Structure 1
Amino acid sequence: MAYAIIAGVPVQLGLYAGTLPLIVYTLFGSSKFLSVGPVSIVSLIAFSGISGITEPGSAHFVELIILLGLMVGFIHLIMSFFKVGDFFDFISPSVINGFISAAAIIIIVNQLKSIMGISLPEYQNFFQYVMEVIVKLPQVNPYTLTIGLVSVFILVLLKKCTPRSPGPLLVVLVSIFLVGVFDVHKMGVDIVGEIPKGLPKLKINLPSLYTIQLLFPTALIIAFISFLESYAVVKSFNNREKEPINTNKELLGLGLANIASSFTGSIPVAGALSRTAVNYQSGAKSRLALLLTASFIIISLLYLTPLFYFLPKASLAAIIMVAVSSLVKFKQYSLNHAPGELFIFLSTFISTLMLDIFWGLLIGIIFSILLSQIRKALY
């Protein structure tokens, strides 16, 4: 829902993106763990690209963002057909670890505004954002902060004591109950609020040639960034389980998922780092978990949306922060590590944190290829 707001569309479109697209990816993708749906970077790029064409929030804006997902999907299918994914099999694991570590930290700091109950500008780079947080400290809502910190404490405690316990579910239920009983939302605590009931109407609209020309630059950027992010997430979790990656099948699954998202009237999708981390830490070992996730979202849309009215956003932020914290890979790298791999890890990590996700991953890939060529020349 938060990503739908970032994209400038109604909140239910964010939920729609977690239904049919996730089912389609489960059928055609290769990863057991990757949770496909709306993500922050894709939502931001979509909003920026389309807001330059038409008024945000208008019916035309929503129509264009739905068509954008269709175009992104077809670009992924073309990349899969020409086996562009084979190129990514040669990328060093240090690139992926550096990217995932920085992305996890970016996700954590972006949740601070929900944990603290303050408003912050969009994330530009790590230090600038942290300075904004420090400046806004006097404006922190004590009730929101208490809910957020207690949620984090419960999640960490349950994770250490009983790793398989449904900590996130417990936090959601307890926080809804407490906010509803004690009316904490009247004290400035931000809650999810009303969510429209019902499933999306399935339909597909083909863009005109003029619309394709308008949306193509944005669609191309999203297609590459969404796959780079999804590939990095898949590689990180598949490496933990020592499972191979079929990159071209990932492109196929992601492309069909984006087409399915357009078909449901939703926004472009990608592999989500935070939701994949929650899925993995919950003990998921097969794609059945992804199908169950989509099923529960569908059930929620049909019958349960009123129950989430009092859900505090601070609790959702706490769940995300705890889930992605384990993805930071500093302990794997030290001065005793291979100098080349350490350099690749640090350059990817720092550039992702200080520049942005796309440039950080691209810089890491370039250094990885250069180092590989140097090694071949020397040995």
Structure 2
Amino acid sequence: MNDGGKPGAAWRRLFPFLQWAAMVNGRTLRADAQAGLTNAIIVLPQGVAYALIAGLPPEFGLYAAIIPAIIAALFGSSWHLISGPTAAMSVVVFTAVSPLAEPGSDLFIKLALTLTLMKGVFQLLLAMARLGVLVNFVSHSVVIGFTAGAAVLIAVSQLPGLLGLALATDGSVPETLRQLILHLSEVNPYSLGIGLLTLLCCVLIRHYRPRWPNMLLALIIAALATALVDPGRQHIALLGAIPAGLPPFSLPDFSLGSISALASGALAISLLGLVEAASIARAVASRSHQRLDGNQEFVGQGLSNVVGAFFSCYASSGSFTRTGVNYTSGARTPLAAVFASLFLLLILLLGSDLTAWLPMPAMAGLLLLVAWNLVDFHHIRLIVRAARSEATVLLVTFAATLLVALEFAIYAGVLLSLVFYLKRTSQPRIVSMLPDPDARHPVFVSAEQRRLPYCPQLRIIRIEGSLFFGAVNHVQEYLQNIREPRLLILGSGINFVDIVGAEMLVQEARRRRAEGGDLYFANLKEGIQRFLDRNQLLEELGRDHIFPNKGRAIHHIYDRLDPAVCKTCTARIFKECHLAPPGTVAGQEDS
């Protein structure tokens, strides 16, 4: 098959892993395998914790870290995104299903899998509708702010484990910090020492031996140190053995009652999952300089949930922690996610008892380093210096990430970005244009750049922006404040006009003509002229008032100026002013 003369393009769309298969070689396989092994170890406590948050047995969190990660890696577009259970998805699953069944019960599990399947179907429908462009509304400032906020969330969530404290909190940053302050006297020095040792080893290995698997080696050193300082396992919390076994085949509940009850929650969770995954993918892609396909990412996320629902996997999305570990561990291709899943599967089958020796403070130390690496200090400085609006978007997104649900933080940032965008587009720049007296050939320059005299009878302006309903009031006020009776609008900067904008131009033309003046246009784009013609507005504006260029427009308008005013005028800024008085230049060569 071929597409656009490129054989195999259709196959690469159906099987996107064919696009990066050529990148795979011995070096990338080693890097991906090392990153995958580190990721598999990191996700063990995380997957168990997230499953408990979702109201499911702990092994379901590990199942959700295996199957969806493979499917999303092979059918998505990001090189580094790893899908699996996340805090946001776990909370939403619990919120959506707990009113319908007892958490942990067989019915609860079935409904959670049904919710997962419906989520995947909704995501695939969005992909089929080619709505991947929706992720373009998540601006760079939103991504940077969201990433920094998520980094703080990860860091704060790991502090109790690092300090050896068992705190009863709601998981929010303010409450966790409050509890930490109240229990500082109970800090476990053994846990703190192992956590800091892990962090230090990871930093030193990465600095002096950057090609070595720093996170994995740091974990091994931490496990050995724990065995030496706490042989009786009394002072340092360990991960412990986990249930062994393959992800079992499962069937969601297909009853109409269950589907109806979960429909609204499934739609919400599908949208939240897409925004979460797309934001994480874009955050990492901004560092790896990869170009993402938003629609393909929708496909990968949808398929991972549809397939996962039949293998005891609850709702998955892009994982900030796992993706961060994957990137900082040196992953090169999506095979790192596949390796992570396979290693996790092997650990489940063969070495579940080995996890009993991994210290929890060491995990916390590694995740603190991951959180630090997620903060893009360089781009934060650039955004803060660039524009107040972008800095505001960044700060609001960052603060919302810490204070409200993760997905609503993204919504807040996107909404604020759109507000600033609409504010900018609702006030298009309007520039007065004047001929440059020093140019050999007729050249018009902005009156803002040069102090030049104006014609008392004709103002020439260029509108740089679209004339839509939001911009009409601003443009209309500007036009009504122009004292010159005749106005020429240069339309080369107008890309779009809606019916409200067109009606405003007609009203301005009528007003000026009633006062003895007129309104003219030059350089209007063809699409805008077709729109005006299709809506019977071209006749009202006057076809003879629309010119292909400003030279012809000025030549035509000059012949209709008041000769008495021209006689006393000292500006004489147009070429016609030096040829003949108005009313006598008809038939002369166009400017």
TM-score using structure 2 length: 0.61
Q: Which of 240, 265, 268 pairs up with 1:193?
A: 240
Distance 1:130 1:331, change over 3 A: farther
1:344-363 equivalences in 2 (<5 Å): 344-363=393-412
Counterpart residue identity of residue 368, structure 1: S
Aligned to 2:144: 97
Counterpart residue identity of residue 311, structure 2: T
Report the Cα offset of residue 192 of structure 1. Answer: 1.7
Counterpart residue identity of residue 301, structure 1: L
SS in 1 for 2:374: coil
- Contact 2:88/2:405, CA 8 A, preserved across alignment: no
- Contact 2:141/2:393, CA 8 A, preserved across alignment: yes
Counterpart residue identity of residue 300, structure 2: G
Q: Which of 392, 397, 421 pairs up with 1:343?
A: 392
Of 99-108 and 208-217, more deviation after overlay is shown by: 208-217
Give the Cα separation in 1 of the matches to 2:186 and 2:264: 40
2:219 matched to 1:219? no
SS in 2 for 1:172: helix
Question: Across the two proteins, how many residue pairs are aligned to each other?
Answer: 379
Give the Cα separation in 2 of the matches to 1:267 and 1:189: 31
Q: Which of 306, 315, 320 pairs up with 1:273?
A: 320
Distance 1:172 1:135, change over 3 A: same
Give the Cα separation in 1 of the matches to 2:264 and 2:227: 46
Aligned to 2:360: 313
1:30-179 equivalences in 2 (<5 Å): 30-123=77-170, 125-179=172-226
Distance 1:262 1:15, change over 3 A: same
Cα deviation per residue 1:276-328 (whole Å; 9 max; x = unaligned)? 11111111121121221122112212211111112122211221221121111
TM-score using structure 1 length: 0.93
- Contact 2:66/2:345, CA 8 A, preserved across alignment: yes
Give the Cα separation in 1 of the matches to 2:347 and 2:231: 24
Structure 2 residue runs without a partner (length 5+): 1-47, 430-591
- Contact 1:344/1:368, CA 8 A, preserved across alignment: yes
Aligned to 2:570: none
Structure 1 residue runs without a partner (length 5+): none
SS in 2 for 1:333: helix
Counterpart residue identity of residue 142, structure 2: V
Report the Cα offset of residue 182 of structure 1. Answer: 5.5
Give the Cα separation in 2 of the matches to 1:110 and 1:352: 13
Give the Cα separation in 2 of the matches to 1:140 and 1:220: 43
**Higher helix share goes to which structure?**
1
- Contact 1:143/1:187, CA 8 A, preserved across alignment: no
Of 171-180 and 29-38, more deviation after overlay is shown by: 171-180
Give the Cα separation in 2 of the matches to 1:164 and 1:12: 33
- Contact 1:125/1:356, CA 8 A, preserved across alignment: no
- Contact 2:161/2:364, CA 8 A, preserved across alignment: yes
- Contact 2:199/2:218, CA 8 A, preserved across alignment: no
Report the Cα offset of residue 354 of structure 1. Answer: 2.1
Give the Cα separation in 2 of the matches to 1:314 and 1:200: 28
Give the Cα separation in 1 of the matches to 2:364 and 2:232: 16
Aligned to 1:327: 374
Cα deviation per residue 1:200-225 (whole Å; 9 max; x = unaligned)? 22243342111112222332332222
**Higher strand share goes to which structure?**
2
Aligned to 1:302: 349
Distance 1:48 1:140, change over 3 A: farther
Aligned to 1:293: 340
Counterpart residue identity of residue 11, structure 1: P
Distance 1:161 1:274, change over 3 A: same
- Contact 2:110/2:253, CA 8 A, preserved across alignment: no
SS in 2 for 1:235: helix
Distance 1:87 1:161, change over 3 A: same
